[in-house]
Amino acid sequence: MPLHLEIVTPERLAYEDDVDMVLVPGIEGELGILPHHTPLVSLLGVGELKIRKGGTEESFAIVGGFLQVRPDKVVVMAETADLASEIDLERAQEARREAERALESGYHEGADLASARAALQHALLRIRVAERRHREGPRRGG
Amino acid sequence: MASQREIRRRIGSARNIKQITRAMQFVAASKLRRAQETTLASRPYRETLDEVIADLAAVLSGDDHPLLAERDFTQAHSRLIILITSDRGLAGALNTNTIRHAAREITEHPGDLKVVAVGRKGRDAMRRARVPIAAYFEGFGDRPTFADTLPIARLVSDDFVAGTYDRVDIVYSKFVSTLVQRPVVDQLLPVVPSADTAGIPGNQFLFEPNPGMFLRSLLPRYVATRLYQAVLESTASFFSSQMVAMKNATENAEELIEDLTLSYNKVRQANITREMVEIASGARAR
């Protein structure tokens, strides 16, 4: 029995398909979900989500989300979800420089500091996911 | 009766107006289409979030999280209304209706009350009515994003947790159809969990790290999602209302042009007749 996976953000349904396995960045380490997993609701960290399907692997950069495993499907809810092959590396680099500048420019209020840090973390994640993808290419076989 | 030239000038300006309102009508129609798509695309997230909140509410009580705790309203309480309107006008009675709805809510439930205004129209109206404004956010334009609503969500949840307010409502214009937009008051906080519709009792889920912590990280996001939804509905309402208003304006301009053309012809005819009479009487007098 395949695993029905949905990745949902406030702005769109980012992914929906039957897959073999999904690896998510759980808040306490990576979490692998196979069919017939017990019903679970878990917070997700900032990280990479990997989907295995018929020998291929796809990955998403996930920020600020949680996971709901139900008997009929798995739903990943995230504030943003970017498909690795769709990440614009240059724009991510630009976002990283901007976030670093914001952090270096001295004094910060609590909220500003937190959001600048979050932006930097997000940019770094996108770069990591995109670069890994570029290096390895879409993985086949298995 | 106005002179020929005067009438021609007025026909010209009515034509210009018609051109502008017509263009605005089409622009609003295409923006409406996009706004509707965005509203639809945001629905799955909202629905799943509602489900999970319902699941959590089944295993938790108000003691576990302040955003969930129903407070005692018999005592003096303070309330916050988030009023969502547009920055610009030219959208028929849309903003007026939303503001009137908010005003009625305010007068019917007197007490300690403040308003967070999203959109310039709402802020101006509240300022005129001397309702205290806690914060003002400029509208989010044609394409509101989820990130736009995060600052409001943070402000509102922080204030609620700190006990500044006992209840928070959103007043906005719900998009029913292109012709119908209904102003509504929705309770945002404390959270009212919806009935569990997924058919799986909440207590069958395993919550990681634990339900309390999960809820703490989820609720600010829930508030942001509700606000985002309300902003999207308002945007869709704005464009549909503007489209209808501009359609009416175009039709009115057409009617005006017709009327003016008629009186222009009448004046022209009268002038010709007068000239002919003058020529004829002049010839006879010779």
Asked which of A100-109, B262-271, B274-283 is least confident by mean pLDDT, the reply is A100-109
| A74: closest chain B residue by CA | B48
B228/A9 Cβ within 8 A? no
Q: Cβ(B106)–Cβ(B113) under 8 Å?
A: yes
Full 3-state SS string of A37-70: CCCEEEEECCEEEEEEECCEEEEEEEEEEEEEEC
User: Could you give all domains of chain B from N- to C-terminal order, each with its CATH number?
Assistant: 44-241 (3.40.1380.10)
Provide the pLDDT for residue B245: 94
Helices B211-285/B43-59 angle, 10° precision: 150
Instruction: Write down the pLDDT at residue B84.
Output: 92
Confidence category of residue B21, pLDDT binned at 50, 70, 90: very high
CA distance B59 to chain A (A): 13
Instruction: Please say whether the beta carbons of B234 and B99 come within 8 A.
Output: no
In this structure, the strands spanning A47-53 and A21-26 are: antiparallel
Contact of A51 with A58, CB cutoff 8 Å: yes
Q: Which residue of chain B comes nearest to A26, CA vs CA?
A: B208
Q: Which of B49-53, B146-150, B171-175 has the highest mean pLDDT?
A: B171-175
Mean pLDDT, range B18-41, rounded to an integer: 93
Q: Residue B208's pLDDT is what?
A: 77
Q: Is B198 on the interface with A (CB under 8 A)?
A: yes
Question: Do A3-85 and A88-136 show the same overall fold?
Answer: no
CA nearest neighbour of B172 among B108, B111, B101, B275: B101
CA distance A10 to B204: 26
> For residue A75, which of A19, A139, A138 has the smallest C-alpha distance?
A19
Q: Looking at residue A142, what is its pLDDT? A: 38
In which residue are the tokens 């500003």 written? A112
Entry pTM: 0.80
What angle is formed at CA A45 by the lines to CA A89 and CA A31, rounded to 5 degrees?
Answer: 105
**Residue B211: Cβ within 10 Å count:** 22
Among chain B residues, the shortest Cα distance to A75 is held by B48
DSSP annotation of B131 reads: -
Report the alpha-carbon distance of residue A13 to residue A73 in Å, rounded: 15
* CA–CA separation, A57 and A49 (whole Å): 10
Give the per-residue pLDDT at B124.
Answer: 92
**Length of chain B as a residue count:** 286
> What's domain A88-136's architecture?
Up-down Bundle (1.20)
| Binary contact (B41, A12; C-beta < 8 A) | yes
ipTM of the complex: 0.73
Amino acid identity for residue B202 in this structure: G
For testing contact with chain B, the best of A68, A69, A73, A115 (most B CBs within 10 A): A68
Quote the tokens at residue A69: 């495993």
**Residue B286, helix vs strand vs coil:** coil
Selection from A33, A5, A37, A30 nearest residue A21 by Cα: A33
CB atoms inside a 10 Å sphere around CB A65: 24
Cα A115–chain centre separation: 18
pLDDT of res. B75: 53
- Tell me the domain boundaries of chain A: 3-85, 88-136
* Residue A39, pLDDT score: 87
Q: Distance between CA B256 and CA B248 in Å, rounded?
A: 12
pLDDT at B172 over 90: yes
Whose CA is closest to B215, among B72, B79, B49?
A: B49
Strand extents, DSSP E, B61-193:
78-84, 112-118, 133-137, 167-175, 181-189
Q: What is the mean pLDDT of residues B99-122?
A: 87
Percent of chain B, pLDDT > 90?
A: 42
Mean residue pLDDT of chain B comes to 86
Torsion-angle region of A64 (φ positive above 0: left; ψ -120 to 50: alpha; else: beta): left
* Selected residue of B38, B48, B196, B235 to mutate for chain A interface (largest A Cβ count, 10 A): B48
B224 CB contacts (<8 Å, ≥6 apart)?
A10, B146, B149, B150, B152, B153
What percent of chain B is modeled with pLDDT above 70? 91
Q: Does A6 touch chain B (CB under 8 A)?
A: yes
Q: What is the C-alpha separation between A120 and B63, in angstroms, rounded?
A: 35
Q: Compute the distance between CA of residue B75 and CA of residue B241 in angstroms, rounded to an integer.
A: 40
- For B235-272, b/e burial (b = at least 16 CB within 10 A) is bbbbbbbbbbbbbebbeebeebbeebeeebeebeeeee
Under 8 Å CB-to-CB from B192, ≥6 apart: which residues?
A: none
**Is the pLDDT assigned to residue B140 strictly greater than 90?**
no
- Per-residue b or e along B128-157, where b marks 16 or more CB atoms closer than 10 Å to that residue's CB: eeebeebbebebbeeebebebbbebbbbbb
* Predicted local distance difference test score (pLDDT) of residue B109: 79
Of residues B46, B48, B208, nearest to A42 (C-beta) = B208
> Which stretch of DSSP H or E encloses residue B20?
helix B4-41
* CATH architecture of the region A3-85: Sandwich (2.60)
**Residues A129, A135, A137, A138, CA torsion sign:** negative
When pLDDT is averaged across residues B216-241 and rounded to a whole number, the result is 89
Query: What residues in chain A have per-residue pLDDT under 50?
Result: 140-142
Q: Average pLDDT of B84-89? A: 89
Q: Which of A41-45, A99-103, B120-124, B282-286 has the highest mean pLDDT?
A: B120-124
Cα separation, A111 vs A40, in Å, equals: 32
Q: What is the pLDDT of residues B173-200, one digit of tens each?
A: 999 888 899 999 988 888 877 765 555 6
Q: Residue B254 above 60 pLDDT? A: yes
Give the pLDDT score at B266: 93
